Structures are given as C-alpha cells and as structure tokens.
C-alpha cells in the first residue's frame, strides 16, 4: 500500500476524534479556488486565539479491541493500515515545510497491546523533537493501559495529551467497550494531571533558587494541558450525568477541555441506539453548558436536575435556567454583583466586565448597554436600569419564553458565497457559482444585516454552527 492510500485511510479514521476540531470536506478543486481534500488537515486554537493547522492522523487503525460504537473495532470490515515511524515523520516535516500544517495530532488504535502502541508513538514524537528539531505543536493521545513510564516520557515531547473516556458511564463502557473499564481510563488522566502539577512546582523552585539553567519551554510536561472526549447519544445517559462527569473532570484533573461528540450512526448493532442522524443539537447544548461551567460560575446541578435531566431543545441552557428562576429577576444593572450579571441572558463575560468598569464612572442606561454590547432583546426581560424596565419587559413566563425563542437566529434565505470572503465583506448577489464553499449567509428574523451565521458541513456529516453578532 502506498503512502497516499495509507494517508487516506488513517486520516479518515481520525475524523471521529473531536478533541481537536474536525477535518474538512472531500471536494476537489475543479478549476476553482481552494481545495478541501481529506488529507487529514484540521485546526485547533491556542490560548491566545491563534488558529493552528494540524496533520490529524492515526498511527494505525488495526485495533485489537472490539468496542461496539467504534468504526475501527476489530470486527468491522474496513480497510486497515498502519504508518511506520519514518512515514509519520516524513509527512509531518514535509507538510510543515510546505506550510500546510503547523503541528501534528497523533492518535492510534491499539496495536498488539497498549504499551507497544504507546512506545511506537513515543518514538515518533521523540525523533521529531530530537532528530528533526521540530518545534511545532504536537497533540498526542495517551493510550489507556500503557506503561506509566512511556506516558511520562511522551509528555515531555508534546504540547497536549488527551485520554478519551468516550462513554460517560460505567454501564455504557461495560456494554459497549468491555475492554475499557473506567478506572483504567482515569488512571492515565490522574497521572498526567499530577505530572503537570509536579512539573510546575519544579519550575517555581528553579525560579526561586535563581538557577542559571532554569527549565525551558521544551522541558515542560504537557504545557498545553490535557483534554478528553465524550460521545453523546451512543448510550442512554442523560445530559445531567454527562455534565456532572465533565464538572468532576475539570475539578479533579484540571482539564483544559472536555469535547462532546455526537454519536455518528455508522455501525449496525442491537446494542447501539437506532438513530438516523447524529444528535447535533444535544451536542451543541452540552457545549453551551460546558461554557457556563468554565466561565460563568454555574454548577451542573443548577442547570439540570433529576426531574429535568436533559437540556431544553428550544432554549440555550442559560436562558432556560433564567426562565426557571424568574423570581431572581429583574436585577438592577447599576448595583448587581458581577456573578449575577453573568447569569443574565444576553450578557456575556466581556459585557459584564465592561458594565463593572463603566458604572464606576456613572449610572448606566439602556443606550449605554447597547453600546457596551448587551443583547437587550434577551437581557431586557431580566434587568432594570436606574429603576426602569426595558420596553419589552414582562414577568409573564410564557411571553418571556416566546421572546427568547424568537430572538434566536432562524435561517430565512440562503445565498451562496463565491470563494473566501472577509467577515465584513458585502454579499455579491451575482457571485460566481463555481468553487462554492459551504459558507452561506442567512438573514436574521428581523431581516437585518447585523447578524452573520455560517453553517459548515464537513465530510463526516457533522453540522458546525457559529453565530456571530457583529
């Protein structure tokens, strides 16, 4: 099998791992602009917001395990391939020199046994760093069950490591992945977490001792932290149990991110749910709630409960929480504390910070809030300014709910956009139809141009939605 065929198989097999972003589509260039051939290029984002292109591949899809939900399971009849270490290194260095990528995302099925696979991956990242002096970003999957020494050593050569839990409950793992007990998955996560803390403490000691040979960036253990992935919809687990697991992972292992992946029904098995499409809206709601846990001070038990274990498909989790707690509102924008400001629908972290700063100078009114960036169509039901309510204010739960639902973006018309465009480009009504991207503009319900929404449909059928308020 030649290298290009291997790349096609192992890049395609890696697309179901969303602990960095998904790969692109499969369109070839037909005398147009751009090309999204499935060569395993995906993107991730650094802490400072930079977008980093990654070569996203598996080392091998020849797995000894037979996890029911996994497309690479041993009993599934799919093309199999494995890279050699030299092939992965050559691809990475050549793609990097051609400016296709800025880093590598390397995962693998379990070849022979976990330690054998981890040793192969360690050899690749060690040679990239030591022999080829590759300083680009590397995200490596730690193989559960591998020798602790191998994981510790690999962590010194990579920027981020991740251990995929995949299924959120012991029962789900027992039924769909009996070779992966939850304890075996949490053990390397605990090890990585402890090693990161230990490494940071050592750096502080070196710094305080004013050693001339302080640890460099390259001496750090997993400096970009660790992440994991949870599959949504492959088991009967409720949103509450998934979110509480995420909350525990952030708290106990100091994870950078928990990624949620809607189960893609590519396999047929009586132990799997009979669904036709991935539960993308549910995945989207979990990402919204995850954001609330990390940046808005919410707890899982506030957003959901045993009597209400799943998110409302009509409302985002923050609006749904506010609607269930109308007795806490309205709050006076000029005196309410920062923590409560963050809980007002239509007010984000930046808007709340601006409000806190601005009201040190004087009392704010609704016009001031508009300039700050507060979405009054949503926030107007929950705040007062200098004792006055907004023009659409109501205490009626039904009216507030309808108002929040109607404030969402609903696609009304679709217009194709030729090639790439900048965020503020005008839409060309007579655009060229060749080389169309999957980027579309939608009018807002009010037919205003202040809202831009793009829907991107990559190769694996996942629907990525992003709404940008200009």
Q: Smallest Cα–Cα separation from 199: which of 180, 169, 222?
A: 222
115 and 68 in a common domain: yes
The answer on pLDDT for 206 being more than 80 is no
Please check whether residue 360 lies inside any domain of the structure: yes
| Residue 258 near residue 227 (C-beta atoms within 8 A) | yes
Structural domain includes residue 283: yes
Average pLDDT of the chain, as a whole number: 81
Examine the domain organization and report whether 240 and 318 are in the same domain: no
Q: How far apart (Å, rounded) are the C-alpha atoms in residues 323 and 315? A: 10
For the chain, the domain total comes to 2
Q: Where are the alpha helices (DSSP H) in 26-81?
A: none
Whether residue 339 is contained in a domain is answered as: yes
Residue 99 gets the label, from left (phi > 0), alpha (psi -120 to 50) or beta, of: left
Residue 204 has pLDDT above 70, yes or no: yes
Residue range 440-450: average pLDDT? 38
CA angle 203, 204, 208 (to 5 degrees): 120
If one counts every other C-beta atom within 10 angstroms of the C-beta of residue 250, the result is 16
**Does 224 reside within a domain?**
yes
Question: How far is 153 from 160, CA to CA, in rounded Å?
Answer: 13
Q: What is the CATH number of the domain that holds 243?
A: 3.20.20.70
* Residue 204 and residue 340 in one domain: no
Residues 229 and 201 both lie in one domain: yes
Asked if 322 contacts 329 with a C-beta cutoff of 8 angstroms, the reply is yes
The answer on 269 and 317 residing in a single domain is no
What pLDDT shows up at residue 171? 86
What burial letters (b/e) apply to 154-188, b meaning 16+ CB within 10 Å? bbbbbbbbbbbbbbbbeebbebbbeebebeebbbb
| pLDDT on residue 443 | 37
> CA 334 to CA 346: how far, in whole Å?
16
Alpha helices in 70-181 (DSSP H): 85-97, 114-130, 148-155, 170-176
Same domain, 89 and 52: yes
Helix (H) or strand (E) holding 416: strand 415-418
Tens-digit pLDDT profile for residues 15-41: 777 665 544 444 555 666 555 555 567
**pLDDT at residue 300 greater than cutoff 70:** yes
Domain boundary among 355, 383, 409: 409
Six token digits for residue 202: 């050592």
Per-residue CA distances from 246 to 45, 69, 243, 289, 464 (Å): 20, 21, 5, 10, 21
Per-residue pLDDT tens over the stretch 218-258 = 578 998 889 999 999 889 999 999 999 999 999 999 898 89
Residue-by-residue DSSP string for 215-263: --GGGSSSTT-EEEEEEESSS---HHHHHHHHHHHHHHH--SEEEEEE-
Q: What is the pLDDT of residue 164?
A: 86
Encode pLDDT of 391-439 as tens digits.
888 888 889 998 888 875 444 444 444 454 444 444 444 443 333 333 3
* HSE-up of residue 116 (Cα within 13 Å, Cβ side): 9
Tell me the two tokens of residue 108: 């693998």
Same domain, 139 and 224: yes
Co-location of 166 and 41 in the same domain = yes
> Is 379 domain-assigned?
yes
Rounded to two decimals, the pTM is: 0.78
Q: Which residue has the higher pLDDT, 365 or 173?
A: 365
The whole-number pLDDT of residue 118 equals 95
Q: Which of 194, 191, 92, 97 is nearest to 150 (CA)?
A: 191
Does a structural domain hold residue 147? yes
Count CA atoms within 13 Å of residue 60 on its CB side: 20
> Over 50: is that where the pLDDT of 455 sits?
no
pLDDT band at 142 (very low <50, low <70, confident <90, very high): very high
| Within-domain flag for 442 | no
Examine residue 426 and state whether it is found in any structural domain, yes or no.
no
Rounded-to-integer distance, Cα 173 and Cα 365, Å: 53
Residue at which a domain ends, from 409, 425, 451: 409
**What pLDDT shows up at residue 1?**
84
Per-residue pLDDT band at 200 (split at 50, 70, 90) = confident
Give the DSSP H or E segment for 452: strand 451-456
The residue among 409, 430, 454 that closes a domain is: 409
The sign one gets for the Cα dihedral 36, 41, 47, 50 is negative
Least confident of 57-66, 80-89, 203-212, 319-328: 203-212
pLDDT value of residue 282: 93
> Could you tell me what percent of the chain has a pLDDT over 90?
47
E-strand spans in 340-394? 383-385, 388-389
Specify whether 323 is located in the same domain as 374: yes
Where in the sequence is the domain holding 102, given as residue range(s)?
Answer: 3-28+37-302
**Residues 213, 235 within the same domain:** yes
Q: What are the residues whose beta carbons fall under 8 Å from the beta carbon of 36, sequence distance 6 or more?
A: 24, 25, 26, 27
Instruction: Name the 3-class secondary structure at 108.
Output: coil
Which has more pLDDT, 1 or 105?
A: 105
Q: Are residues 256 and 329 in the same domain?
A: no
Residues 272 and 323 in one domain: no
């Amino acid at each position: 099998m030649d290298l290009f065929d291997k790349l096609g198989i192992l890049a395609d097999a890696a697309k179901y791992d969303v602990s960095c972003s998904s790969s692109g589509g499969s369109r070839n260039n037909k005398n147009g602009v751009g090309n999204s051939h499935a060569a395993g290029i995906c993107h991730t984002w650094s802490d400072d917001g930079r977008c980093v292109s990654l070569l996203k591949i598996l080392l091998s899809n020849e797995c000894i395990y037979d996890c029911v939900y996994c497309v690479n399971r041993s009993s599934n009849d799919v093309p199999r391939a494995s890279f050699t270490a030299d092939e992965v290194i050559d691809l990475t260095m050549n793609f990097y020199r051609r400016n296709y990528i800025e880093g590598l995302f390397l995962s693998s099925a379990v070849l022979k046994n976990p330690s054998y696979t981890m040793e192969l991956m360690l050899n690749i990242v060690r040679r990239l760093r030591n022999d080829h002096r590759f300083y680009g970003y590397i995200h490596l999957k730690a193989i559960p069950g591998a020798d602790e020494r191998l994981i510790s050593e690999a962590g010194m050569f990579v920027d981020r490591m991740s251990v995929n839990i995949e299924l959120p409950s012991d029962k789900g793992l027992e039924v769909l992945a009996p070779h992966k007990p939850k304890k075996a998955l949490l053990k390397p996560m605990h090890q990585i977490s402890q090693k990161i803390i230990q490494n940071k403490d050592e750096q502080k000691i070196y710094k305080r001792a004013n050693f001339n040979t302080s640890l460099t960036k390259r001496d750090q253990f997993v400096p970009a932290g660790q992440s994991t992935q949870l599959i949504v919809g492959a088991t009967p687990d409720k949103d509450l149990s998934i979110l509480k697991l995420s909350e525990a992972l952030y708290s106990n292992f100091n994870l950078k991110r928990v990624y949620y992946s809607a189960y893609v029904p590519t396999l047929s098995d009586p132990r799997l749910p009979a669904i036709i499409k991935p539960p993308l809206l549910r995945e989207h709601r979990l990402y919204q709630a995850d954001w609330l846990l990390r940046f808005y001070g919410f707890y899982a038990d506030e957003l959901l409960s045993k009597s209400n274990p799943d998110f409302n498909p009509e409302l985002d989790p923050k609006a749904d929480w506010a609607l269930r707690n109308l007795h806490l509102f309205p709050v006076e924008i000029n005196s309410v504390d920062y923590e409560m400001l963050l809980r007002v629908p239509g007010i984000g972290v930046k808007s709340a910070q601006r409000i806190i700063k601005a009201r040190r100078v004087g009392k704010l009114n609704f016009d001031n809030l508009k300039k700050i960036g507060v979405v009054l169509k949503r926030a107007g039901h929950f705040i007062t300014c200098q004792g006055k309510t907004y023009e659409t204010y109501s205490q009626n739960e039904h009216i507030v709910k309808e108002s929040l639902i109607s404030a969402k973006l609903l696609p009304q018309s679709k217009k194709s956009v030729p090639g790439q465009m900048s965020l503020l480009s005008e839409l060309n009504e007579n655009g060229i139809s060749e080389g169309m991207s999957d980027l579309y503009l939608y009018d807002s319900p009010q037919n205003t141009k202040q809202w831009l929404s793009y829907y991107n449909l990559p190769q694996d059928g996942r629907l990525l939605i992003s709404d940008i308020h200009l």
